[in-house]
Amino acid sequence: MNIIWRRLSYVFGILLAATVFVWMGGSTVSSQTVQSWIPVNREPGSGTRSMFYSLVLDKKECDLKVPTPGWDTPAMVGSSEEMLQQIALTKRGIGYVTTGELNAESGVKTLKVDDTSPTADNIKSGAYPLSRELYLVWDQKLSAAEQDFAAYVKSSRAVDVIEESAYVFDGKSGEYEGKKVAGEIMISGSTSMTPLLRKLAADYELCQPRVTVIVRATDSEAGLRAVEDGSSDFAMVSRELSRKESNSFQAAVLARDGIAIIVNQENVQSKITTEELRTIFEA
C-alpha cells in the first residue's frame, strides 16, 4: 500500500507541475533549469558577443563562462553559422545570434526576452531589449569606387536589400545616382553582417559591373584591424565604436538588428528574462 501511495503521489506531483507550467504559459524558467543550461559563447573578437555582454551584463568586457569540455559540452564558437549549428546539436544549449540569420531552416528556437519577440517592429521601436546598430567603417582615404559604394549603401535601393534581408533600417536614404567606376573593394569583419553585405555587394555589382566586391567573414575586431593596416577597405562592425575608434575612422550606421536568444528546438521554454540570462552567462 505504501509503495502504491508513493507512486500515486509521484505521478500527482508531476501532473501538478505540468498543470502549473502550462497555466503559466509553458515558459517559466526555474533556478534548476537555469543551472542545467549550457551557455554557448562567441569568440572574444565578436561584436555580437561584445554587445550581448554589454546589454545583458552591463559590461564591455568580461570573462567568458566556458563549460568544462566533455562529450556533450560545446566549445566556444567562431561565427553566427557555427552558433546555429551548435545550438541545433545541443539539447540544453542556449546562445545568441543576429536576427538576420534566423529563418525557417535555422534549426533552432527563438525565445522572447522580457516578454518581447525580436520582430522588426520591436527592434525599430527599441521595445526589444537586445537591439543594436550595425556599422560600416572605413578610413579617411577612399578610392572613387569605394566612395561610390559608400554612397550606394545609404541609398533607397540598398534599403530595399536591407529590409528584404530581415534587418531594420530607420535612417534617411536617397536615390543612388552612381558614377562610372571600376576596381576592387574588400570588406571584412562581423559574421553577423556578412550575409547582408554579400547581398548588398551582389546588388551593387549589378549597378557597377566593372567593380568586384569581396566580402570576407572574420569578426568585428579583425575587420577594424584590417582597415587600419590597409588590407581591407571597409569593416563590418556589429558593436558600438569606442571614442578612439570614432576619432580614427569614418563610420555609418548601415542597419539595426536584434540579438536573438536561441535554444534547441526540443527546449520547452518560450521566453526568458534578462535577469535569467545574466545568471546563465555571468561567470
Q: Which of 249, 219, 250 is nearest to 237 (CA)?
A: 219
pLDDT of the residue at 147:
95
Are 187 and 227 within 8 A, CB to CB? no
> In 3-state terms, what secondary structure has residue 65?
coil
How far is residue 188's CA from residue 223's CA, in Å, rounded to a whole number?
5
- Residue 73: band (very low, low, confident or very high) from pLDDT cuts 50, 70, 90: very low
Q: What percent of the chain is predicted at pLDDT more than 70?
A: 81
Q: Residue 138: its pLDDT value, please?
A: 96
Cβ atoms of 20 and 61 closer than 8 Å: no
- Alpha helix (H) ranges present in the chain? 2-23, 31-36, 47-57, 80-89, 120-125, 144-152, 156-164, 194-207, 220-229, 243-248, 274-281
pLDDT of residue 172: 80
**Percent share of the chain, pLDDT over 90:** 71
What are the angstrom distances between the C-alpha of 28 and each of 109, 122, 222?
16, 22, 39
Mean pLDDT, residues 122-140: 94
Q: How big is the CA angle at 229 (ends 218 and 100), to the nearest 5 degrees?
A: 25
* Section 153-165 average pLDDT: 94
- pLDDT for 35 equals 64
Put simply, whether the predicted model's pTM sits higher than 0.85 gets the answer no
Q: What are phi and psi of 88, to 5 degrees?
A: -65, -25
pLDDT band at residue 21 using 50, 70 and 90 as cut-offs: very low
Q: Look at residue 226 and give its three-state secondary structure.
A: helix
**Residues 198, 205: contact at Cβ < 8 Å?**
no
pLDDT above 80 for 141: yes
Bridging pattern class, strands 131-138 and 234-237: antiparallel
Query: Average of pLDDT values for 136-161?
Result: 94
Confidence of residue 33 (pLDDT cuts 50, 70, 90): low
What lies within 8 Å, CB to CB, of 244 at 6+ separation is none
Residue 67 pLDDT: 45
**61 pLDDT tier (thresholds 50, 70, 90):** very low
Q: Give the residue carrying C-alpha cell 576619432.
A: 247
For residue 27, pLDDT beyond 90: no
- Flag whether pLDDT at 22 surpasses 50: no
For 183-226, write each residue's pLDDT tens digit. Answer: 999 999 999 999 999 999 999 999 999 999 999 999 999 999 99
Taken in order of first residue, the domains within the chain and their CATH numbers are: 27-131+260-281 (3.40.190.10), 133-256 (3.10.105.10)
- Please give the Cα distance from 194 to 171 (Å, whole number): 21
The CA distance from 104 to 119, in Å, is 14
**Dihedral sign, Cα of residue 89, residue 93, residue 98, residue 102:** positive
